[in-house]
Structure formats: C-alpha cells, structure tokens
Structure 1
Amino acid sequence: MTAPAPALRMGTAAGRGTLLAAILASGMVFLDTTVVNVALPRLGAELKANVADLQWTVNGYLLTLAAFVLLGGALGDRFGRRRIFLLGVAWFAAASMLCGLSQGTGWLIAARFFQGAGGALLTPGSLSVLQASFHSDDRGRAIGTWSGLSGVSTALGPLLGGWLIDALSWRWIFFINLPLAVAVVLAALRWVPESRDVAAARTGAKRRFDVVGALLGALGLGGVTYALIDAPRGGRSPAVLVSVLVGVLAAVAFVLVERRRGEAAMLPTKLFGSRLFSVLNVFTVVVYAALGGFTFFLSVYLQNGIGWSALLTGLATVPMTLLLLVGSPRAGALSAKIGPRLPLTVGPVVAAGGLLLLRRIGPGASYWVDVLPGVVLFGAGLTLVVAPLTTSVLAAVADRFAGVASGFNNAASRAGGLLAVAALPLLVGLSGTGYEQKAALASAFRGALLWCAGLLLLGAALAGLLVHRPTKGGAPS
C-alpha cells in the first residue's frame, strides 16, 4: 500500500480551506506567544503574583512545548496528521479556557503547562498538513502564504492583545482562542485531508515514539528551570539542590537513551556528527535566550516602570516583527549568496546595539525618541539572523533528517527563552514583588538588557569563529 499523492490545489475550495485552518491554528499559538508578556503586569496585580509566578506563567508553556514538539510531529506521522492536528487544537483551546478562568497563580501556571502540551501537538501539525496535502506545484506557494499570514498574526498579536487587556481584561487574550479554535476545527473537518507516513507505519513505526526521551528532556529542562526560579527565595535549600541534581541527571540520561535508540530516537545523536549543526543550535539557544529575556523584561518595565498602557506596550515591538516579515526573505537570499557566517556575525552585534540603546528608557520616555530607535535596531539585527539560521540548520544535515533537525532547532529556540526567563531575574536581583517597585524594576531592566546584549555578542563570536557555508556532502546521513 502506498500513500496517495498530495492533490490539493491553491485555487480550490479545499485548498483555501486547508490553508485557512493551518493559518488560524498557527495564529492562536503565535498570538499567545507574543501577548502573554504584555499581560504579565495586569495578571500579576490581579492574582497577587510574585516574580517567580510570572516566570512560571511564561516558562510553564515553553517547557512543555519545547520538550514535546518533536514527539507531536512523530505522532502525526504515525496516527494521522489531521487527527493529531485536531487533537492539538482542541487541547490548546481547552487549556486556553482554563487559563482565562484562573482564580490564582497555581491554577494559571498549571493551565499554561497544559497549554504548552497542546501547542506541541498543534505546532508541527499546522505545517505538516500543508506539506502532505498540497500538490507539489502549489506546495511552495501554500507554505509561503501560511508563513506570511502567520507572520502578520504575530505582528498584530501585541496590538490586539494590548487592546483586549486595556478594554476588557487580561483573561481575553486566552478566551479569544476559543472562537478561533472552533473555526479551525470546522475548516479542518470539512477540507483537510488525512495523511500519514505509510511507509513508516508498514515498517513498524511504533518504535519511533520516544516517550522516554521526551520525558527525560522535560525533566532536565524542568529541574534546571525550577532551581533558577526558586534560588532567590530558597538559596541553597534542599529543594533547589535536588532540582539541580535531577535536572543534570535527566539531561545525562536523555543523551544516553537517545544514543542507544539510534535512528529510532526522538533526536538521533548522529546529527551532532555535523559540527556545524551543533554550533548552530548552541547559537540558537544563545540568541533566543537574549530575545526571550528582552521581551519578558521590556513588557513589564514599560507598564510598571514608566506607566504605559498595555496597548502602547504591545505597539512597542511591532516594528521588530514587521522588519522580520519584510526583511527575512532578503536576508535568506543574501545568506544563500555569500554564506551564513557574515549575517550570523553582524546580526547579533546590531541587535546588541539596539538593546544598549533601550537601556536609556526611563520615566517620561518618548516612544519615538527613546524606544523606537532601539527596537528598530534590535529588529534589524534579528532579521539578519532568523532566515540564514533556519536555512543553515537544514542544510547542515542530510535531507532525510530535515524534519527532526527543524524540530530540534525550534525546541532549542524555546529552551533558550525558557532558560533566560528563569535565570535573568536571579542574575539582576529581581524577586518577590520587585516588579511592582519602580526603582528595583528599573535597575533590573537595565541589568537584564546588559546580559542580553552580552549573549548576543557571544553568539556573534560563535558565528564568526565556527560557522561556515553548509555542504550536504559533509552532513550525517
């Protein structure tokens, strides 16, 4: 038995409906990724949260998403991409409702963990259904349309979220996912064809479900994250020390398990036989740690430090997203022409300059004079990085590993943000309710941006010294 050839065309009702389902589903995930930071001051005040609670509100989602996104893709290949996609949409919607109904920080954090697990099923599915459903002549156009319109949702997310927070409540940044999810489910049931990896199923793909690897990865990240977040309060308490030990042991066990499972592993360790693949993923963790730390502190500081509204705070990062939308294709073309080393070296340096400019934000700050120049500079630097990085990661391994390489790089970017949000408040001395005190928050904000700029410069050094033009001939196969 062979899988039917993908047959959807762009001009048909089924093609448009499938594309609509994928775009709306991605929009839900991107919206929550960009908007939750904007909501932190309001939900923190209403739920009487401390800094650790805010950290877990962000990191609970990132942890389960980063740990299980590769497993989510494998489940779709085995059991049906549409089926797992729909499960992810329903799961994400239910978790969003729980987030919006939260009556305390414990409830909200638990719901965010749950939401991240739904996102791990949904995120790979939104792209894989396009890849598997569209005719080869239309596939590139469909994926390009999905990428562009999903990017627009990312750009509009902070504005829409800021307006919802100011006009209604922070709870509505979660409730808005419910009608979107209903539209996705109806469109998917009506138009999205089912597909699966028939060859893998025929050869016994059950072995590919590396649940143990996924759980060990989550435990490793979770242990280290807990220790970093709890350290300001617990110091060298037994809980902190045990969580560090558990995290380290789980990380070591993860490597050993993945090595033993070979190509059946969630992450085949032979990929790291490519030095370029290894370097690029370290680079990803470093650069996205800077991005995650910056956006976490900026949203809180603009509202609690200088008194901006949620809507104006959401507006602050829109130029960065617009630059990524417009400039990424050009950066990708430049990288293809001259190689990735120069963009990946210059980009972080430019972005670091933007962060250093933003350290001057203070009471009475002007958006046009004090915020926009730094955000534009940071966005320009990031634009030089994103497309060349993605392209180089895929080119550093054999084509048959493209899916797992892309998934791991996606997980690495989220892990970088997770670790930054966990570590930076500890490094800059922000704890308890310090985020509500202007002087303490201002000092922490400036210190955090200095750390983030340092991470970017570290990334630039890695790229300048170790990155080269990818060659498929040297990729593991």
Structure 2
Amino acid sequence: MSDAAPSAGARPALGASQKLVVVIAVLASFVSFLDGTVVNVALPKMIHDLGGGLSAQQWIVDAYLVTLGAFILVAGSVSDLYGRILVMRIGLVAFGLASIAVGAAPTVEFLIGARAVQGVAGALLVPSSLALITSNIRGAAQGRAIGIWTGMTSVAMIVGPVIGGVFVDFLSVGAISGWRFAFFINVVPIAVVLVLLVRLGQKDVRREGVRIDYLGAVLCTVGLAGIVFALIEQGNLGWANPAIWGAMTLGVLAFAGFLVRQRFAPNPVMPLGLFRSRNFWTGNVATAFIYGALSLSSFAIGVYLQEGPKLPATLAGVASLPSTVIMILFSSRVGSWSGRLGPRLFMTIGPLICGAGVLTMLLVMQDFDYWWQMLPGIVIFGIGLTLTVSPLTSAILGAIEPERSGIASAVNNAVSRVAGLIVTALLGVITGGALNLEGFHRTIVVMAALLVAGGLVSFAGIRNHLSRGNDRSQVDEPAASSPERVE
C-alpha cells in the first residue's frame, strides 16, 4: 500500500455538495422503498375496512410491484434521455398524488389501482436517484455514498412496518383509519426533496441518441401481470380454470417476447449486453434470491404477528426494529470496507448470516415469546443484511461504466422488485394457504434457502479483481488509476 493510500480505519470524506447529493438520493428513494413495506403491517386493517381476503392482500402488495418492476426499466432509459433531475421531479410529484389517492381509497379495487399508479411513479425515483450519486461521486467516496444510500433505503424497507403500525394503532381520527395517514404523510419528504433539488442547482446531463422502447415496456408489464395473476388467483380458481392457465400462458409468451425484443431492439429497456459483465449478472442473480427473501420476510412477519400471536400493529412493526438500528449504525462503514477489500467476502458471508438468523425464528411457537423466539434471529439477520446490501449494490454498479449507471441501477432494482413480486404471489403455495404457525415456519425455511442461495451464488460468481476486458469494476481499481473517468 502506498503512502497516499488511506489507512485501514479511515473513511473517505464527502464534500458539502456530495453530501447534499446523497441526502437527495436517499430521501427520493426512501419514500418508494418505504411504501413497499409500510403496507404490510397495515394489510389486516385495510382488509377489515375495505373487504377482501388473502388474495386481496397479495394484490395490494403486488399491484405496486408489478408496475414498479416493469416501468423501472423504462425509467432508467428515461432518466438517461431527459435527465435525472427532471425525471426525479416528475416522479416525486406523481408519487405524492398517487399516495394521496391510496390514502383516500373508498374500495379495495380503487386502492389496488392507485397502488399500481404509485408503482409507476416510484419507478421514476430509484434509478434517477442512484444515478445521481454515481455521476457526482467517484472513487472510494462512491463506495461510502452507495453504502449510505443502500443502508438507508434498506432501513426504509425494515422501518416501514414500524411506521405503518404506529399509524394503524394510534393515529386514527374519528372514522378515518390511521393507515390512510401513513400514505398522506409521504407528501412531507417529497416536498423536502423538491426544495433540496432547487438548492442543489445542478443542470441535467442527457445522453445523446437514447430512445425509449415502449413496446418492450408493454411486453414486460403484460408478462409480469399475467404470471402474477395466475400465481395469486390459482388458489381461488384452480389451475384448470381458463382464466388462470390463459393468464399464465399470455404472461409467459409476453415475457418471452420481451426478452426477444431486448435482443434485437435498437434501444432496449434492458440491454442484454450488460449481462456480459460477470459481476453484473452474478450480482443480479444474488439480488433475486436475497431480495426475494427480504420481501417474503417483511410480508410474513408483519402479517403473522398480528394474525398469530395477535400483537398490535405497532408491536408487529417494532419486531424488526433492531435490524434497522444495526443498518443505520454500520452500513456506511461496510460500504467503505467493501470499496477497499472488494465485495465478494461480504456478499458471501452476509446472506449466510442472514439465513442462520432466519432459521432461529423456527423457535416461534403458539406460546409466543418475542425476546427468546424472535429477537436473536432479528439481530443476527440485521448483522448479515448490513454486511450484504452495500457491497451488493457497489459490485453491480461498479461493473458498468458510469454513463450507463441509470439503466444499470434500473435493471438491478427491477430484479429485486420482480423477485419480491414473485415470492409474494407464491405466498399461498409457500404457506399452504394460511399464514398460521405452520405456514409461518414453512415461510421461514423458504426464506433461509433463498438467502443461502444468494450467498453461494456470490461466492461462486463475484470477483474482486477483474481486468477491464472482462468487467468494469470500480471496486477493483482505485480512482487514481482511471483519471479519464473522473469528471
């Protein structure tokens, strides 16, 4: 190590403007990630107020994920074409309006439709916010910035049930249920980000020659919607029903058409060439396993603790709070470590530790005791997750050149959301039709298996040191060795 290299314990500093970029990126993404999980703990009360059963609960979650997962790919191209700042502003305003519509929903069908619109708006936020970081921050500081971003957005996924629980239990006003205010409150952070964007005073940078593949977006959306509809409703109608096998057939054909379209389209929404990078495709496979498990965890724990041990919504949300605290304290430091040591070690042991923590939740019994049956697993899970998320994001985005960070971020986020979409759609199959104690235990086993698979994939596929001919990894080489990439 040269004299100029930072010491092992040093963390790269962020300048004032870089800190503002990180704050904007975190807050803009935070509302999207938060709403992906705040709904889970509110589901029982939503269904009580508006009607519906398990399939309605699944659709409330998956309507958001279908449109988010499909349109987030288009959003990456839109961000590169029109500029990250403009796209972020449009996404913020649209997300705020859709959140108000969700909170004011008079029926479950209206709520599901508003959640779908909310997913489209959320799709505009994530790739543009993360691309804002990668285009403004370089070198080891980028690893720390991405660590902060991934840590805080992951915290949003975990703290969502806590916020949802507090609103459900304590913030009802007359006949207006508290869960509605959990969506109305989105207007506050959105307004803050809009003000900070003005303060940033940065001009948009647009890529020349970018076009939007609308046909690809339609094929992707129809494909995902058809498959998810079949997976959710087959428990009610059966696979022999024409609506089920017809929707599945249409979905599979449309998604296959989407992949073919991406192979030959002049401006694909998901450029298959990105997957030539070993760290990019391996990281996305690991993402599918790990974030599938996270989505399953958020849904299953939030709902089971209310319907099994009959905990209030607030306590069901607070159950996962220790993981949040661990991530807040250590995510940025882990991001810095990963920037110096490479992501492979963290991406291997992190998911394995998560899996071990999840398996300890098999101790949950009818005679429920949070302190001995669930808390140890939550803490171990939080440690593993903290070791995983920042290195995972850095490895994937570091494998792609900065000018394509918008679409790279979009693809990775689409993979994570589609993984959550599919496992939520399969919840009825995983639980055996009911999220009772037996169904909860079955869900725990599936979660652990997904996490272990994510760790093994990372160990087998992720590389810390790849030549430029084989990969584009910013964590492999210090910024000083690549002066042409510094803006």
For the aligned pair, the TM-score class normalised by the smaller chain equals 0.7 to 0.9
Pick from 260, 263, 275: which aligns with 1:259? Answer: 263
Aligned to 1:246: 250
**SS state of the match for residue 171, structure 1?**
helix
Unaligned runs of 5+ in 1: 1-8, 436-440
- Structure with greater proportional helix content: 1
Q: Cα RMSD between the aligned structures?
A: 3.0
Write the distance in 2 (CA, Å) between the matches of 1:97 and 1:336: 40
Aligned to 2:204: 196
Return 467-476 or 213-222, whichever deviates more: 467-476
Q: Cα gap change, 1:277/1:77 in structure 2, threshold over 3 Å: closer, same or farther?
A: closer
Write the distance in 2 (CA, Å) between the matches of 1:331 and 1:346: 13
| Contact persistence 2:148–2:331 (CA under 8 A) | no
Question: Residues 271-350 of structure 1: matches in 2 within 5 Å?
Answer: 271-336=274-339, 339-350=342-353
Return 466-475 or 102-111, whichever deviates more: 466-475
| Contact persistence 1:10–1:138 (CA under 8 A) | no
Write the distance in 2 (CA, Å) between the matches of 1:186 and 1:382: 32
Q: Cα gap change, 1:415/1:239 in structure 2, threshold over 3 Å: closer, same or farther?
A: same
Give me the TM-score of the superposition, normalised by structure 1.
Answer: 0.85
Q: Cα gap change, 1:221/1:310 in structure 2, threshold over 3 Å: closer, same or farther?
A: same
**Deviation, structure 1 residue 245:** 1.2
Write the distance in 1 (CA, Å) between the matches of 2:447 and 2:141: 41
Aligned to 2:429: 426
Aligned to 1:471: 466
Aligned to 1:30: 33
Question: Residues 8-407 of structure 1: matches in 2 within 5 Å?
Answer: 22-129=25-132, 156-167=159-170, 168=172, 169-188=178-197, 190-193=198-201, 195-198=203-206, 200-201=207-208, 204-205=209-210, 208-236=211-239, 237-262=241-266, 264-336=267-339, 339-407=342-410
Q: Cα gap change, 1:148/1:57 in structure 2, threshold over 3 Å: closer, same or farther?
A: same
| Contact persistence 1:18–1:187 (CA under 8 A) | no
| Contact persistence 1:158–1:314 (CA under 8 A) | yes
**Deviation, structure 1 residue 302:** 0.6
Partner deviation per Cα, 1:435-462 (whole Å, 9 max, x = no partner): 5xxxxx2221111111111222222332
Write the distance in 2 (CA, Å) between the matches of 1:412 and 1:214: 15
**Deviation, structure 1 residue 150:** 5.6
* Counterpart check, 1:459 vs 2:460: no
**SS state of the match for residue 348, structure 2?**
helix
Partner deviation per Cα, 1:412-451 (whole Å, 9 max, x = no partner): 1111111110112223222xxx45xxxxx22211111111
**Deviation, structure 1 residue 141:** 8.5
Return 411-420 or 421-430, whichever deviates more: 421-430
Return 357-366 or 442-451, whichever deviates more: 357-366
How many residues in Structure 1 have an aligned counterpart in Structure 2? 452
Unaligned runs of 5+ in 2: 1-13, 173-177, 473-487
Give me the TM-score of the superposition, normalised by structure 2.
Answer: 0.83
**SS state of the match for residue 306, structure 1?**
coil
Write the distance in 1 (CA, Å) between the matches of 2:303 and 2:392: 29
Write the distance in 2 (CA, Å) between the matches of 1:10 and 1:463: 33
Return 321-330 or 56-65, whichever deviates more: 321-330
**Deviation, structure 1 residue 301:** 0.6
Query: What one-letter code is carried by the residue in structure 2 that aligns with 1:193?
Result: G
Query: What one-letter code is carried by the residue in structure 2 that aligns with 1:251?
Result: F
Partner deviation per Cα, 1:358-378 (whole Å, 9 max, x = no partner): 122234423322221011112
